[in-house]
Amino acid sequence: MTDRFALLVIPRPGIDELYYRLDEGMVAGPGDIVEIELKKELIWAFVRETTGDLPAALRELPCKPVRRVISDTALFRDRRETAFLEWLARYYLYPFPKLIKQIFAPFISPSLTLPRPTDRRDACSRPHEPAVLTDDQATVTGRLAARWRSGDTRPTLLYGVTGSGKSEVYAALCREQFAAGKQVLYLVPEVSLTAGTLRHLETRLGKKPVLLHSYLTPKRRFTAFSQAQSGEAELIVGTRSALLYPLPGLGLIIVDEEHDPSYKNIEPPYYHARDAAVMKGHLLGLPVLLGSATPSSESWHNARSGKYHLERLPRRPGDRPLPPVRRFPFHGETYLPSELVDAVRDSIARKEQTLFFVNRRGFSTLALCRDCGEIQKCPRCQVTLVYHKRRDALRCHYCNFSRPVAPCAACGSEELSLEGTGIERFVATLRELFPGAAVVSIDRDSLPNETALSKELAAIEAGGHDLIAGTVMISKGHNFPALRRVVVKYADFLLTLSDYRAAERCFQVVTQVAGRAGRFDLPGEVWVEALKGDHYVWNYLPRYDYEGFIEEELSWREELLLPPFSRLAVVKIVAPTEEKADEAARAIYDELRKALAGRKVRLLPPVAPPLQRIHNKHRRHLALSAPSLSAVTPVLERILAAHGKRRGIVVTCDIDALSTAQI
Amino acid sequence: MNTVKLVAVAACALLLLAACKNASDETRLKRREVLYHFNPIAGDCVALFGEGAVRKSTPAQVLADLSERLDNLAYIGIENDAMHIDLPWPYDDIDVPVKIEKNDDALRINGIHGKIALSFTAYALDGQNTVLRLDGKFCHPMPRLLKENVLANCIKNIVKKIRKARD
């Protein structure tokens, strides 16, 4: 007998789930998208489950019919896929209907249709060049494949030094999965990393991967989704949102650069794609492979405690050495030691490249009034405006506010001094120091789209530029054969932040950038500028001693009961005025203090975060940490339900927050 | 008379159905499948019933094998009167003090806070096979499906380990 009723998830605020009738002849199953009438309006809804009968309390009430099924095929036919989304919504304290809406709303047009997938046969086989694996790579690949064949799907952390060929291991494991008729989901932290990854995988596997990320237009994304869903695509490369889509033939999830903070969603739901991938693997019984040259403290801790398997790639192919690291002190914003300048000149003459990592956008990082001393700030956000020479304007990097440099917002003076160095000024300095050299800048302002970025990256790979200056966009995932040298300006700037994760981030960023050098035949070298030369990071970084560093870092964390030895949640309050933000934060704090009294929870009073006003909204944070959040979650759920709906005030909760100092 | 006939037919049908079900479960057990199913119970709890057959063994041997391997079980490991339950990240593993009761017919492991209770019994399936049966309860605020996964993997793993020792 076919089910006569469907429990629908309604993507409308205030309504979660409703039963609708399935008339005779209509076939809809869990995971389908259907059209219904709600309050005289036609809307779409998601079928959570179907049933033969209504719950007793609803039997006497009228039940409206489902008008039609929008999706041709069930999207989430596998109950475990829906269970994964339910887990994600529940764990990260986000309403399930809103999550469903986020996933499907971009696809569904106002006329309540799903776009037709365009016939792009990208996934067909092409000639390819499989790599010859080194002994280390072959051993790791063989061990992983054997383990997975035996049914051991415990997640694995693949720790391999930069340039050790982790991506060759991934490609070999992908081939094994394809041979078994399975799909592979390959997650990358950022869209900017996908171009190089796609090229590499295509070369190695002879298959054009299907790309799935939120920057695609809804139609392209739906096409990719349809190819993935139908099983036509074997390899799906995507950013964190790709994890939310169902893949019926999934056999393996690879999380490349697993340490990267971009895997954490910075708006609700605050899910961490790496952690969610581990959970998806558990629910679906799939292996998950996490790879990094600088694993996150959580993953290292999990590997150390046996929660993950640990595999190592300790050296580069052919025993090529990691590039030696030389430190130089900070002597000014654009300072470079004369020895380095000479070396760069020699390299230019030999057509070798040098990469300068300057992780600051714009020309000057602040504009200071010479008359009243006021630092020019965004009127909408509590942040300093950055001068962009290309546009000759001061800009806010958070709300895109823009204004001419003068006059001073406080006293009207025309005398403003542009201080601090961003990448634009640094590039200008390079052009002065090395006249005639071909300089390219890889940053979001110079290369606003994917096409421009891919073009420049291809030119660098072909040896078309002498000097490359880049922000974090250039720091990982790229292979430049002619790169001789990496120079890291303000290498330990991150250590000046009041964030317990500062040392870990600093070690990761510098190691990743340094790792771009010496990956091919050309020996590499790395120059780093240190502000805080006595920090313990410097005991390990020059030797690339990640294990030594992370062990010391974890010993501190354990002593101070910081993550991963405790769990951190941050309640975020956003209100239209400062008073309202304070009032709401205080009320929530008092409630939490009462509700959590006597439990092993450290609750910190509400504070204004470093960026306390964004888009004219005032923000307050309230952090709590506990050995486990399981007991705290119901309390937080209650708080969100009570405070989340107040007019003008938005209360959200970042579970497993990466930092207490997060923006 | 008709009513009596009807009742008799219905009773026969029920018996037949029950026999079919038993036969089917028995066949599956003989095919070395591990059977399990779950029932949600009050609060954050789920009840598990699971069983799997072990060849060339007697109930006493199976319980003895289990007893010897308590510290080396995937998903749960019991050592020094404490059970360590492996949970997938981002959940932390759980360590629960437990009381273990052993007798000739059963091995019972009870968490001291009543959040977990596992009762292992064994019975002869036929002359060759013994079935290890687990009746369990597990309470935790994690989603039901996760609890079920942990328990299902636990019974599958236990049966596999004992089979390996016996086969």
pLDDT in tens, A279-293: 999 988 899 999 999
Q: What residues pair up with B83 in beta bridges, in sequence order?
A: B78, B96
Instruction: Tell me how close the Cα of B31 comes to any Cα of chain A, in angstroms.
Output: 19
Q: Which residues contact A235 (CB under 8 A, 6 or more apart)?
A: A123, A174, A178, A183, A184, A186, A201, A205, A207, A209, A210
- Chain B nearest-CA residue for A271: B90
Residues B129 and B56: their CA atoms lie apart, in Å, by 6
| Token digits of residue A584 | 């709401």
Q: Check residue A18 and give its pLDDT.
A: 92
Domain boundaries, chain B: 1-31, 32-166
Share of chain A above pLDDT 70, in %: 95
Q: Which of A93, A297, A307, A658 to mutate to test the interface with B (most CBs of B within 10 A)?
A: A307
Q: What is the mean pLDDT of residues A161-181?
A: 93
pLDDT of the residue at A73: 61
Cβ neighbours for B67, distance < 8 A, ≥ 6 positions apart:
B102, B107
Q: Where in chain A is the domain with CATH 3.30.70.600?
A: 567-655
Fold of A567-655: Alpha-Beta Plaits (3.30.70)
Question: Distance (Å) from the C-alpha of residue A194 to the closest C-alpha of chain B?
Answer: 27
Instruction: Work out the pLDDT band at A624, boundaries 50, 70, 90.
Output: very high
Nearest CA in chain A to B142: A630
Fold of A320-360+422-559: Rossmann fold (3.40.50)
Taking a C-beta distance cutoff of 8 angstroms, is the pair A245, A103 a contact? yes
Q: Give the nearest partner residue to A307 out of B89, B142, B149, using CB atoms.
A: B89
pLDDT of residue B90: 87
Query: Mind listing the pLDDT tens digit for each residue in A44-76?
Result: 998 888 888 888 888 888 889 999 988 766 566
Half-sphere exposure of B17 (CA within 13 A, CB side): 6
Q: Where in chain A is the domain with CATH 3.40.50.300?
A: 135-316, 320-360+422-559
Position B15 scores a pLDDT of: 52
CA neighbor of B159 nearest in space, from B48, B69, B52: B52
Cβ-proximal residues to A16 (8 Å cutoff; 6+ apart), any chain: A9, A10, A95, A96, A97
In degrees, rounded to 5, the angle at the alpha carbon of residue A91 between the alpha carbons of residues A85 and A93 is 95
Asked if residue A146 has pLDDT above 90, the reply is yes
Neighbours of A631 (CB within 10 A): 14
- Confidence band (pLDDT; 50, 70, 90) for B5? low
- Residue A467: pLDDT band (50, 70, 90) is very high
Residue A375 has pLDDT above 50, yes or no: yes
Q: Using CB atoms, pick whichever of A80, A278, A631 lies closest to residue B89.
A: A278
> pLDDT-derived band of residue A663, with 50, 70 and 90 as boundaries?
very low
Q: What pLDDT is stored for residue A231 in this prediction?
A: 80
Q: Report in angstroms the alpha-carbon separations of B33 from A150, A288, B24.
A: 17, 26, 11
Q: How many Cβ pairs closer than 8 A exist between chain A and B?
A: 45
Phi, psi dihedrals of residue A245, rounded to the nearest 5°: -90, 145
Instruction: Give yes or no for a contact between B141 and B44, defined as CB atoms under 8 angstroms apart.
Output: yes
Q: What is the mean pLDDT of chain B?
A: 81
Pairing mode of beta strands A439-442, A183-187: unpaired
| Average pLDDT value over all residues in chain A | 88
Structural class in CATH, domain A135-316 = alpha beta
CB B95 within 8 A of CB B82: yes
Query: In chain A, whose CA is at the least distance from the CA of B147?
Result: A283
Residue of B nearest to A627 (CA): B92
Contact A630 B141 (CB under 8 A): yes
Token pair of A2, please? 């076919």
Q: Write the pLDDT tens digit of every residue in A475-513.
A: 776 788 889 999 998 888 878 777 889 899 999 988 988
For residue B54, what are its two tokens?
């072990």
Which residues on chain A are in Cβ contact (under 8 Å) with B140? 630
pLDDT category, A587, cuts 50, 70, 90? very high
How far does the CA of residue B129 sit from the closest CA of chain A (Å)?
25
Alpha carbon A204 to its chain centroid, in Å, reads 25
At residue A575, the pLDDT reads 94
Question: Which tokens is A82 given?
Answer: 């829906």
Q: Check B146 against A86: CB less than 8 A apart.
A: no
- In this prediction, residue B14 has a pLDDT band, given cuts at 50, 70 and 90, of low
Judging by DSSP bridges, how do beta strands A235-238 and A210-212 pair with one another?
parallel
Chain B contacts of A633, Cβ < 8 Å? 141
Residue B19 has pLDDT above 80, yes or no: no
- What pLDDT score does A573 carry? 94
Three state DSSP letters for A400-454: CCEECCCCCCCCCCCCEEEECCCHHHHHHHHHHHCCCCCEEEECCCCCCCHHHHH
Distance of alpha carbon A388 from alpha carbon A422, whole angstroms: 9
CA dihedral A501, A506, A512, A514 (to 10 degrees): -170
Q: How many CB atoms are located within 10 Å of the residue A327 CB?
A: 16
> In chain B, which residue's Cα lies nearest the Cα of A303?
B89
Position A585 pLDDT exceeds 80 = yes
Which residues does chain A have within 8 Å of residue B91's beta carbon, measured at their own beta carbons? Answer: 630
At residue B40, the pLDDT reads: 83
Neighbours of A354 (CB within 10 A): 26
The answer to whether A6 touches A64, Cβ cutoff 8 Å, is no
Average pLDDT, stretch B78-97? 83
Verify whether the Cβ–Cβ distance B141 to A631 is below 8 Å: yes
Specify the CATH class of B32-166 in words: alpha beta
B88, B142, B143: residue with CB nearest A278: B88
- Using a CB-CB cut-off of 8 Å, the residues of chain A touching B88 are 278-279, 281-282
**CATH number for region A5-104:** 3.40.1440.60
What average pLDDT score do residues A537-560 get?
A: 93
Q: What's the mean pLDDT in A430-437?
A: 93
How close B82 gets to chain A, by Cα (Å)?
17
Q: ipTM for the complex?
A: 0.70
Do B88 and A282 lie within an 8 Å CB cutoff?
Answer: yes
Q: In the structure, what pLDDT confidence band is assigned to residue A260 with cuts at 50, 70 and 90?
A: very high
